[in-house]
Amino acid sequence: MALSKVVSGAFQTLFDKLPHQVQRFILIPSVRKGLAFLAAWKTLGVINRYISHQAQNNWVRLGPWDPSRELVVLTGGCSGIGRQILEDLTKLNVKVIILDVQEPIFELPSNAYFYRADITSSSVVKEVGNQIRKEHGNPTILINNAGVGFGETVLDAPEEHIRLTMEVNTLSHYWTVKEFLPSMIQKDHGHIITVASIASFAAVGELSAYAGSKAAALAFHESLTQELRHWYKAKKVRTSVIHPFWVRTPLIDGLINAGKHFKAPIMSPRDVSSAVVKQIVSQTGGQVIIPSNHGSASFLRGLPSWMQERVRNKGSKQLVRLRELQREFAAQQATAN
């Protein structure tokens, strides 16, 4: 009752400051009902976000974030999204270890270290893990960022592309987590971040292996979160999964070059890195979809089948058209030469 009076008093004060013509408009019964509905909807949204946040983080608050306490292992940190994450974290004085099969073609910051490693090999991950612990200590943050993708139909995709996609985008998460999570559990401190994709929720043509690997990465994140909570009682070890739409990296350069014909939201590596760094600094676990105004994408599989098919059809038709444009452009280039 007391809270109700305080809220009512606050609204009355605000109402009294409005121009008379606005006050008369608000007093119309239909307008008042509409405003009441909007206020209730907004309040429910705030409450929902609060409860979701607390549930995803085990209703446990952590102390202030201390970068000097963290040691990050970042897979695929030599290009694209990984390189941007590296740059952003090292600027915050965080020590970062890169695991990649590519050598960095740029000068590493003083607080960054590179280890050449094929993360699809469990024995290689174990070997490099021992080396990291010996030279730097136990990692406290693991960012499973490395990813590959090929735009090929099921019949056209060679076996090596399918296997590589699943091994890098999904299976490697098992090897890195098995290697670095035990010390986090022991200290009840750490963060596992999975860079997935909007393809975790919707698969279109030419992306069966990629979408399958990212859907599996989401399931991996969800299961790991449950194990940390109920099996290992490590409620301060956070887990986050990041779902970006298309990201401007070499993986999709051919599609983006189609210009105005590419209608989907295009993220930059900086957009994805910002989401990852925010999770780390805020010590918050959960599911993040970027751009945030496409957060409803996670509800896709809860829609009626005909609605799901309409979404997938739209994406697939666009890819078909983009491939046609690519072929036309290639033919024009060949003729010109």
The pLDDT, as a whole number, for residue 93 is 97
Tokens of 61: 């608050």
> Based on the number of CB atoms within 10 Å of its own CB, is 196 exposed (0-12), middle (13-18) or buried (19 or more)?
buried
Tokens of 326: 């690519």
Q: Which among 239, 238, 191, 197 is positioned nearest to 216, based on CA atoms?
A: 197
Do the beta carbons of residue 162 and residue 149 sit within 8 Å?
A: no
The pLDDT, as a whole number, for residue 255 is 57
The pTM of this model reads: 0.85
Report how far residue 201's alpha carbon sits from residue 192's, in angstroms, rounded to the nearest whole number: 21
Q: Is 214 a catalytic residue?
A: yes
Q: Which among 180, 179, 177, 169 is positioned nearest to 218, based on CA atoms?
A: 169
Per-residue pLDDT of the chain (337 residues; tens, 9 = 90+): 454 454 455 566 776 777 877 667 777 887 677 777 777 777 877 887 788 888 889 889 898 999 999 999 999 999 999 999 999 999 999 999 999 999 999 999 999 999 999 999 999 999 999 999 999 999 999 999 999 999 899 999 999 999 999 999 999 999 999 999 999 999 999 999 999 999 999 899 999 999 999 999 999 999 999 999 999 999 999 999 999 988 876 656 555 555 555 566 788 899 999 999 999 999 999 999 998 776 667 777 788 989 888 888 887 887 787 777 767 666 666 677 6
Do the beta carbons of residue 186 and residue 135 sit within 8 Å?
A: no
Q: Is 210 a catalytic residue?
A: yes
The pLDDT, as a whole number, for residue 3 is 45
Tokens of 172: 């490697």
Q: Could you say which of 42, 91, 113, 214 is catalytic? A: 214
The pLDDT, as a whole number, for residue 245 is 86
Q: What is the DSSP letter of 177?
A: H
**In the chain, where the domains are located:** 67-301
Instruction: Write down the CATH number for the domain with range 67-301.
Output: 3.40.50.720
Long-range contacts of the stretch 51-57 (C-beta < 8 A, 24+): 52/286, 53/284, 53/286, 56/225, 56/284, 56/285, 56/286, 56/287, 57/238, 57/284, 57/285, 57/286
Q: Could you say which of 210, 232, 236, 263 is catalytic? A: 210
The pLDDT, as a whole number, for residue 321 is 75
